[in-house]
């Protein structure tokens, strides 16, 4: 009897083991991920694959879109998350917008003049209605811009409008903006949906903060927002662009778990998935009727170094780090090939201000060790890398960086912190040595550099300070001639890359997946912003 | 008296084959954990990006994970983490639980009321919320994971201990000892504790099982032992993202967790059956 | 009986107050507050001061607690600092999801666990006992997220019979609602089944050997009647206890299952609110969960009366 009991136990173990192994032997494993990055699509090229539509755009239908995470605030002047931008794109509008090829285009401002370098006159579109029925007029633009600028309101975007002296409505459809100095970045800033035009009465109705309320001029209206559950939008019948939008409704579904997100796309639970995880791209592509588009995004990750205290106040130690990290390994193992190693400045090569520097193109362990020895760390050093806990890219990058640094004698301990705790320690108290960070959705070169590298700026908790760089950046943002600006930015980036306050890792290649019945969708050249204003469903 | 109880208990235990298998598996596991540096073919942190996600092969007996790290080596070192976290957190829960439970049961009165209310509060608290909050306050270290799990599981021990102490207190033998004038501490250690040990021992083995699962759950939420520590929970959590491409990274640590937890459970159940007459007395 | 119930409710009040204080303290111990998280890196001392004033965070902690408690006593649970959603509305929307998941998981657990436990007890030490015991124990031997992932892989991706994620209201579309709940309920249910099986088995064993069962047998009733009526009824007490504990645990929100299956339950709500330092929401969820726990305990204790006539309050 005892033998049978024994055997049955072993059998159960084996059965469970077998079941688990069977679970693994389903679809044949595809070959290893591509090590060469996918070809960069030229801007405004139509999405690949998918049949041509059988007829013209059809009205109606609901589009279900999955997002990585939810927006955190419906008030555009306070939101900072990319996911907020995605929703704002459908609901709000600003004076300008950016087209699919990243060029600035008119939106609520039909046209604008610049009688002198410090004055802009915006001529507003007439007959544009807010979702509450009222027509948008110049006073709304004045109110919105002043709200952002007002320190008593506390908008985090106020700093982006510091060059503005005042904003006035000269008549119902004309707004005059006076600057304290020339500002080459203003138009680009105004094209960001965080600078949307909102109606004053709605803000005041809600005690000064548009929580849970979205009243804009965009093609879709907010119906319901259940935080972290879904966002439901419906068509705005009074939208100023004739005949648009085609869709009846859009539902955004935040699916935080990466596996669940690609599963939802593969089973048709959602029609459109923004940011398909790299490891699932092949299985997603294999689904019948699936279209995928890939774009080299401006989302990039880097290792930030605290330049204000040892050991990373020594430029040689920072350069050692920059030479020691294996960017391609990060692209291969964490991005699964869907990335582009960054061997120089932060500004990508799709941007006019790109600086053709390949300073860190080759990983050079010997040089790194020499630099460390020069700086007095021949026996290595101990340090910590702080990062956001649970961030899939962050934890992966942290582990790669740690392994890389170990090869040159830098013993780094990973400290994954909860987001709020990280902000508190890293951004507020500057209590860190190395940190895993990333930025996204920059396009204007000034945004890549000024807030990040200018002394004392908000995105500069690494404490980098170089008066020469400061001067160059200040000059560049006031210079209105693009070629001159490009030169200034190249010079600035040369210095910055040399001094390595950050070790840039890689840009992401964003893959969006959707079914071929989703027509009329065009991705942005930088993989950002999802606009569904011209989208329709062929079913 | 106690010697023959032990012998009887042992004999009853050995009759239960599954419990014995469980025990043997655990001993093997402990040996593997201790001998990890000798058994592991690679450093568990060593990355070989070119061979990432490879299937089991002569160079990587159980395959490689998404960074190209050897799964077998990580599994062996991971055993150390799982056992350490399991034992230390359970030990902490046991210690706190005994302290609170004995005090509440033996002293009674206001001490019992206060401690019982505290236990009620801890029981009604959503477990995950408590765990994540404590980790956010303390920070991401293995020792904090141990503290968190220990604090969360202490009330269970406290409640069992209190219940058993309350009924053991009514024992004639103890009444007699008090009359004779024996000190409280002596009574507790000499007379009460042996009588409540049975359910406590059983609960200890069961808590060891749950502690390992709890560590895996915390890893999934991003508040477990920080990477690159090869805790099994961390391996399964990250490996599941590659389930269809290369399931080895998730399956082998899952099997390890399964086997270990099952063994603890079988051991605990076997102990409960073996200690049966004692359990009757204590409850 | 009613006096007993009233007495229990009153006794629960200090516990609920105690919990609310502990949660308040705990969340305030975590570094950063809602303004920190909201402004992130784009902070300025001015913006921080303005927003803190707006949210009432410039008050000392005991003032904030008393303000919150005052609101609760007036029936106002406050408003989410982050999203502006009234806390009550969020709870009312999301708790039913958790309740439904709990009920379905318990059903799965009971259907699998109780018969297994009875079989194992009746055929103690036989092969059936061991197979049944070990198989149902397997439910607690794997982490939830792995079981859930495997179920999704098998049923949603390969067999394509069930949807993988999401939630639809029960009243909106009952069929789809149940289809979406099957996998999560099973993921949790097999864990419950293990616990129920173990408790049923041990409780039945205890009772089977008791005197009155022997008397019933001597009286000549058939074996089955003896088992079902006498043994099971008395074994139910510890089983009901364990079901109650499990229900309490499930109702507090199962974050992992909610994450994997994208279910809008209170577990995820609580965790997200802590991450955003949205203290009114955290307080609201914890108060709800703790109250539910007290109620479940009370229901279990009342059930005892019906199961064992010797017990009375």
Q: What is the pLDDT of residue C312?
A: 63
Q: What is the pLDDT of residue A487?
A: 93
Q: Which residues from A are below 8 Å from C127, CB to CB?
A: 4-5, 8
- Average pLDDT estimate for B175-190: 74
313 residues of chain C, pLDDT tens digit each: 788 888 888 888 888 999 999 999 988 888 888 888 888 888 778 888 888 888 888 888 889 999 999 999 998 998 888 878 899 999 999 999 999 999 999 999 999 998 888 888 777 777 777 788 788 888 889 998 999 999 998 998 888 888 888 888 778 888 888 989 999 999 999 989 988 988 888 787 777 766 556 666 666 666 666 666 666 777 777 888 888 888 988 888 789 999 899 899 999 999 989 988 899 999 999 999 999 988 888 888 888 777 766 666 6
The structure tokens 């063994």 sit at: B263
Residue of chain C with shortest Cα separation from B118: C15
Q: What is the pLDDT of residue A526?
A: 77
Whether A28 has a pLDDT exceeding 80, the answer reads: no
- Name which of A5, A24, A277 is nearest B18 (Cβ-Cβ): A5
Q: Which residues from A are below 8 Å from B55, CB to CB?
A: 29
Mutation pick from C98, C126, C141, C150 vs chain B, by most beta carbons of B within 10 Å, is C141
Cβ neighbours of residue B203 closer than 8 Å, sequence gap 6 or more = B156, B157, B160, B268
- Average pLDDT estimate for A406-435: 92
Q: Is B136 on the interface with C (CB under 8 A)?
A: yes
The candidate with the shortest Cα–Cα distance to B201, out of B166, B168, B160, B162, is: B160
* Token pair in block for residue A268: 């048709």
> What is the tens place of the pLDDT at every residue in A230-287?
999 999 999 999 888 999 999 999 998 888 999 999 999 999 998 899 999 999 999 9
A178 touches A75 (CB < 8 A): no
Q: Which residues from B are below 8 Å from C14, CB to CB?
A: 117
Question: What does the CA dihedral C108, C109, C115, C117 come to, rounded to 10 degrees?
Answer: 170
Alpha helix ranges (H) inside C123-261: 127-137, 144-151, 174-208, 211-219, 223-225, 233-251, 255-261
Q: Which residues from A are below 8 Å from B71, CB to CB?
A: none
Contact between chains at A225 and C54 (C-beta distance less than 8 A): no
Contact between chains at C15 and B121 (C-beta distance less than 8 A): yes
Distance CA B87, CA B22 (A): 16
- Name which of A332, A392, A418 is nearest B49 (Cβ-Cβ): A332
Phi, then psi, of A64 in degrees rounded to 5: -105, 120
- Name which of B226, B241, B244 is nearest A416 (Cβ-Cβ): B226
Q: What is the pLDDT of residue C14?
A: 87
Q: What is the pLDDT of residue B235?
A: 94
Can you give the three-state secondary structure of B146-183, one letter per residue?
A: HHHHHHHHHHHHHHHHHHHHHHHHCCHHHHHHHHHCCC
- Average pLDDT estimate for A285-300: 91
- Name which of A9, A72, A421 is nearest C134 (Cβ-Cβ): A9
Q: State ipTM.
A: 0.85
Q: What is the pLDDT of residue B280?
A: 53
The secondary structure element, H or E, covering residue A70 is: none
Contact between chains at C256 and B124 (C-beta distance less than 8 A): no
> What is the tens place of the pLDDT at every residue in A328-364?
999 999 999 999 999 988 998 888 899 988 999 889 9
Mutation pick from A418, A422, A432 vs chain B, by most beta carbons of B within 10 Å, is A418
Percent of chain A exceeding pLDDT 90 equals 63
Alpha helix ranges (H) inside B103-126: 109-124
Contact between chains at C41 and A158 (C-beta distance less than 8 A): no
Distance CA C111, CA C243 (A): 12
- Average pLDDT estimate for A20-49: 37
The residues pairing with A465 across neighbouring beta strands, listed in sequence order, are none
Q: What is the pLDDT of residue A467?
A: 94
Confidence of residue A46 (pLDDT cuts 50, 70, 90): very low
Q: Is A406 on the interface with C (CB under 8 A)?
A: no
- Average pLDDT estimate for B215-244: 91
Phi, then psi, of A93 in degrees rounded to 5: -140, 155
Q: What is the pLDDT of residue A17?
A: 40
Confidence of residue A47 (pLDDT cuts 50, 70, 90): very low
Whether A44 has a pLDDT exceeding 70, the answer reads: no
Contact between chains at B139 and A390 (C-beta distance less than 8 A): no
Confidence of residue A36 (pLDDT cuts 50, 70, 90): very low
């Amino acid at each position: 009897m005892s033998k049978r009991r024994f055997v049955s136990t072993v059998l159960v173990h084996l059965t469970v083991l077998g079941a688990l192994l069977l679970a693994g032997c389903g679809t044949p494993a595809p070959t290893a991920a591509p090590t060469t990055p996918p070809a960069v699509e030229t801007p405004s090229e139509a999405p690949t694959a998918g049949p041509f539509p059988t007829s013209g755009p059809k009205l109606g239908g609901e589009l279900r879109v999955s997002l990585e995470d939810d927006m955190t605030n419906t008030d555009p002047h306070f939101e900072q998350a990319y996911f907020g931008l995605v929703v704002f794109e459908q609901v709000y509008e600003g004076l300008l917008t950016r087209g699919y090829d990243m060029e600035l285009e008119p939106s609520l401002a039909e046209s604008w003049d610049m009688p002198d370098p410090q004055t802009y006159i915006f001529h507003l579109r007439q007959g544009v209605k807010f979702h509450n029925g009222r027509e948008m007029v110049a006073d709304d633009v004045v109110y919105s811009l002043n709200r952002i600028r007002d320190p008593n309101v506390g908008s985090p975007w106020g700093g982006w409008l510091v060059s503005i002296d005042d904003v006035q409505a000269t008549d119902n459809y004309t707004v005059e903006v006076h600057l304290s100095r020339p500002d080459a970045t203003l138009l680009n800033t105004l094209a960001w949906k965080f600078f949307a035009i909102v109606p004053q009465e709605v803000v005041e109705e809600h005690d000064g903060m548009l929580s849970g309320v979205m009243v804009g001029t965009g093609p879709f209206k907010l119906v319901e927002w259940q935080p972290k559950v879904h966002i439901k939008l419906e068509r705005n019948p009074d939208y100023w662009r004739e005949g648009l939008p085609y869709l009846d409704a859009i539902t955004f579904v935040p699916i935080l778990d990466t596996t669940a997100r690609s599963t939802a796309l593969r089973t048709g639970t959602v029609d459109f998935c923004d940011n398909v995880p790299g490891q699932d791209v092949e299985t997603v592509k294999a689904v019948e009727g699936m279209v995928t588009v890939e774009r080299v995004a401006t989302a990039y990750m880097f290792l930030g170094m605290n330049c204000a205290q040892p050991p990373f106040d020594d430029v040689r130690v920072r350069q050692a780090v920059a030479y020691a990290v294996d960017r391609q390994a990060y692209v291969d193992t964490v991005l699964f090939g869907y990335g582009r190693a960054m061997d120089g400045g932060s500004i990508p090569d799709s941007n006019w201000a790109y600086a053709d520097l390949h300073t860190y193109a080759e990983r050079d362990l010997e040089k790194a060790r020499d630099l460390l020895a020069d700086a007095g760390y021949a026996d290595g050093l101990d340090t910590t890398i702080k990062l956001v806990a649970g961030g899939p890219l962050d934890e992966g990058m942290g582990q790669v960086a740690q392994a890389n640094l170990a090869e040159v004698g830098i013993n780094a301990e990973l400290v994954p912190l909860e987001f709020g705790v990280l902000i508190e320690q890293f951004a507020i108290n500057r209590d860190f040595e190395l940190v895993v960070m990333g930025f996204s959705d920059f396009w204007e070169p000034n945004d890549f550099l000024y807030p990040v590298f200018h002394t004392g700026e908000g995105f500069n908790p690494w404490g980098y300070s170089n008066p020469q760089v400061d001067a160059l950046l200040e000059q560049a943002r006031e210079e209105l001639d693009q070629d001159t600006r490009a030169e200034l930015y190249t010079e600035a980036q040369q210095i910055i890359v040399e001094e390595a306050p950050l070790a840039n890792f890689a840009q992401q290649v964003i893959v969006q997946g959707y079914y071929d019945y989703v027509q009329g969708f065009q991705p942005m050249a930088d993989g950002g912003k999802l606009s569904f204003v011209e989208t329709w469903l062929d079913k | 008296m106690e010697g023959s109880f032990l012998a009887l208990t042992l004999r009853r235990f050995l009759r239960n084959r599954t419990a014995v298998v469980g025990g043997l598996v655990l001993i093997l596991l402990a040996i593997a954990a201790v001998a990890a540096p000798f058994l592991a073919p690679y450093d568990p942190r060593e990355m070989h990006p070119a061979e990432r996600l490879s299937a089991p092969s002569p160079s990587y007996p159980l395959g490689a994970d998404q960074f190209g790290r050897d799964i077998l080596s990580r599994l062996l070192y991971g055993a150390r983490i799982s056992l350490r976290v399991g034992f230390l957190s359970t030990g902490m829960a046991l210690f706190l639980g005994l302290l609170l439970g004995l005090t509440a049961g033996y002293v009674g009165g206001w001490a019992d009321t206060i401690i019982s209310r505290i236990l009620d509060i801890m029981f009604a608290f959503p477990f995950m919320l408590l765990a994540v909050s404590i980790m956010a306050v303390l920070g991401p270290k293995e020792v904090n994971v141990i503290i968190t799990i220990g604090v969360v599981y202490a009330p269970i021990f406290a409640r069992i201990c209190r219940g058993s102490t309350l009924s053991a207190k009514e024992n004639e033998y103890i009444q007699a000892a008090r009359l004779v004038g024996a000190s409280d501490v002596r009574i507790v250690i000499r007379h009460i504790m042996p009588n409540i040990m049975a359910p406590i021992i059983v609960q200890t083995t069961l808590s060891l099982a749950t502690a390992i699962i709890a560590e895996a759950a915390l890893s999934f939420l991003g508040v477990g032992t920080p990477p690159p520590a090869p805790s099994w929970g961390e391996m399964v959590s990250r490996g599941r993202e590659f389930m269809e491409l290369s399931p080895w990274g998730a399956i082998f640590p899952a099997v390890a967790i399964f086997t270990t937890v099952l063994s603890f459970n079988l051991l605990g159940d076997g102990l409960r059956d073996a200690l049966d007459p004692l359990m009757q007395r204590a409850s | 009986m009613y006096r007993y119930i009233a007495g229990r409710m009153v006794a629960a009040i200090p516990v609920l107050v105690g919990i609310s204080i502990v949660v308040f303290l705990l969340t305030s111990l975590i570094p950063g507050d809602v303004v920190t998280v909201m402004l992130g890196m784009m902070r300025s001392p001015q913006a921080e001061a303005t927003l803190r004033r707006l949210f009432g965070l410039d008050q000392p902690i005991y003032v904030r607690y008393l303000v919150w408690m005052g609101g609760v006593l007036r029936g106002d649970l406050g408003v989410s600092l982050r999203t502006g959603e009234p806390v009550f509305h969020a709870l009312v929307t999301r708790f039913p999801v958790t309740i439904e998941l709990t009920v379905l998981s318990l059903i799965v657990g009971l259907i699998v666990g109780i018969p297994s436990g009875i079989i194992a007890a009746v055929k103690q030490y036989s092969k059936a006992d061991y197979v049944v015991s070990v198989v149902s124990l397997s439910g607690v031997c794997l982490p939830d997220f792995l079981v859930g992932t495997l179920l999704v892989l098998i049923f949603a991706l390969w067999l394509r019979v069930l949807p993988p994620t999401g939630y639809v209201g029960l009243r909106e579309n009952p069929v789809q609602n149940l289809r979406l709940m099957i996998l999560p309920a099973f993921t949790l249910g097999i864990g419950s089944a293990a616990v129920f099986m173990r408790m049923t088995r041990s409780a039945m064993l205890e009772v089977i050997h008791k005197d009155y069962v022997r008397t019933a047998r001597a009286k000549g009733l058939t074996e089955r009647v003896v088992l079902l009526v006498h043994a099971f009824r008395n074994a139910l007490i510890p089983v009901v206890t364990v079901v109650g504990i499990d229900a309490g645990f499930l109702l507090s929100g199962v974050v992992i299952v909610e994450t994997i299956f994208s279910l809008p339950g209170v577990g995820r709500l609580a965790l997200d609110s802590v991450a955003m330092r949205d203290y009114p929401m955290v307080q609201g969820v914890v108060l709800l969960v703790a109250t539910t726990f007290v109620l479940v305990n009370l229901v279990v204790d009342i059930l005892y009366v019906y199961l064992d006539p010797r017990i009375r309050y």
